Amino acid sequence: MKFSELNINDTILKAIEKMGFKEMSPIQEKAIPVALKGSDLIGQAQTGTGKTAAFGVPLTEFADPLNKAVQSIIITPTRELAIQVSEELNNIGRYKKVVTVPVYGGQDIQKQIKSLKKRPSIISATPGRLLDHIKRRTIRLNEVRHVVLDEADEMLNMGFIDDIRAILEQIPDEHQTLLFSATMPKPIRLLAEQFMKNPETVKIQSKTLTVSQIEQKYLAIKEREKFDVLTRILDIHTPERAIIFGRTKRRVDELSNALQKRGYRAEGIHGDLTQARRDHVLRRFKNNNANILVATDVAARGLDISNVTHVYNFDLPQDPESYVHRIGRTGRAGKKGLAVTFVTPSEMPHLNEIEKVTKQSMEQMQPPSYEEALRGQQKAALESIMETMETGDIENYKGLAENLLHDNDSIPVIAAALKLITKEPDTTPVKLTAESPLRVKKERKRKPQRNNQRRNRGKNVRRQDASKSYKKRVHQH
């Protein structure tokens, strides 16, 4: 079905066309009409299938740019996601002149107050900062008619719940609530329904929770062997863009430093960095100044970075939902991707649990040897030669080549050149602090938590206890 079959403003159709969207994705086809008629809605569809536009189009259609009040708010679990969502909505609203402003922690509040002078119709926010603005009366929500919780299960979990309640108290009773996520565990859905009026559930049925374009593998490995094996795998895969997930902030710091030491273009991101640093790192990754992003779960949800070809779970995620979102950073909008998950012997039951929840089995892979890594890098060197032969400007080198080959046999000349451009597997010794394995849970505790754990934000928890329910996780990103 085409967007033009929706009864929406022509300026929005024009914007969508400019964005390169032709057909609606299944979640858009099902959710947009329900949202347009004003119903509350729980939308669930796999990662990378266009949920942002599924709420972005209705919110933009509803918005009246001449009304100076905020008419819709979108709440997201991370700052980067608040920014990304506002960018997509500004694209959709470009010709209708519907302005969306992002509001998030870590950025100078005065700067945000200034950007609010643009009189946005829509605000895309992280909960804490939105509450700050409400308290300062720099944002008023008395004309809000539509509320979106993106990554709804995450938002209703892990201590965000009190902030969400406090925000909802500021909004007139007559409002529409739209919830979206790729995962919606039942207890969270039941909780969500308390916030909604006869919500319609729009779920894109699929056999598995993860998309089929992502090839999923696991590797059984001892903790202390992980790093050498990781770099060998990187040498073989030579990913265009990869995200490596680590369990803790310390882990991410150590891992990104260690990768840099071995000559990889890696950068780390987690919640203890300043927002300026987080922005800088993400920009370097998007600009391809770095092709490896090492991250905590702060980058697990919603981020849409094009051509992430590989996701590596260096440490097993805390729960199956986190796994689904992490690997969902690849294989987006129909593209292919590969996800590799490292699992230590005692963590095998967690892997089985993930497979059970995602209804998708992972294929076991063997740790590659040094020789295989070397062959991977040699192949990459060969490919770069072939590519340069086709596309590079090599005229100025041809005379030099002729002279070389006049005086020498071709094979040693080429072998020497290949050796020079091959990045041989680097075995620089590095030491990572061992992470304790996830503990086996007898039963998954999924009860949503009510106490507000935002207070704990910023504390660098050294070790996570998997027997605790996973709500605390976000505060350790």
Residue 312, amino acid:
Y
Binding mask 294-323 for Mg ion (x = CB under 5 A): --------x---------------------
CB 46 within 8 A of CB 182: yes
Among residues 188, 157, 28, 155, the alpha carbon closest in space to that of 92 is found at: 28
Q: What's the CA gap between 247 and 314, in Å, rounded? A: 8
CA torsion through residues 86, 89, 94, 100, sign: negative
Binds ligand ATP by CB under 6 A, chosen from 304, 319, 321, 347:
304
Binding-site partner at residue 191 among ligand ATP, Mg ion, none, CB < 5 to 8 Å by type: none
CA 355 vs CA 133, 360, 446: distances in Å: 42, 5, 18
Binding-site partner at residue 422 among Mg ion, ligand ATP, none, CB < 5 to 8 Å by type: none
The verdict on 246 binding Mg ion (CB under 5 A) reads: no
**Which residue number places its CB atom closest to Mg ion?**
302
Binding-site partner at residue 316 among Mg ion, ligand ATP, none, CB < 5 to 8 Å by type: none
* CB closer to ligand ATP, 28 vs 344: 28
Q: What's the min distance (Å) between Cβ of 52 and Mg ion? A: 5
The verdict on 282 binding ligand ATP (CB under 6 A) reads: no
Q: Which stretch binds ligand ATP (CB under 6 A): 41-49, 221-229, 387-395, 442-450?
A: 41-49
Applying CB under 5 A, what is the total number of residues that bind Mg ion? 2
Q: Within 13 Å, how many C-alpha atoms sit on residue 28's CB side? A: 24
The verdict on 332 binding ligand ATP (CB under 6 A) reads: yes
Binds Mg ion by CB under 5 A, chosen from 51, 129, 310, 350:
51
The pair phi, psi for residue 147, each rounded to 5°, is -125, 130
The verdict on 50 binding ligand ATP (CB under 6 A) reads: yes
The verdict on 182 binding ligand ATP (CB under 6 A) reads: yes
Binds ligand ATP by CB under 6 A, chosen from 6, 41, 42, 53:
53
Residues that bind Mg ion (CB under 5 A): 51, 302
Residues that bind ligand ATP (CB under 6 A): 21, 24-25, 28, 45, 47-53, 182, 302, 304, 328, 332-333
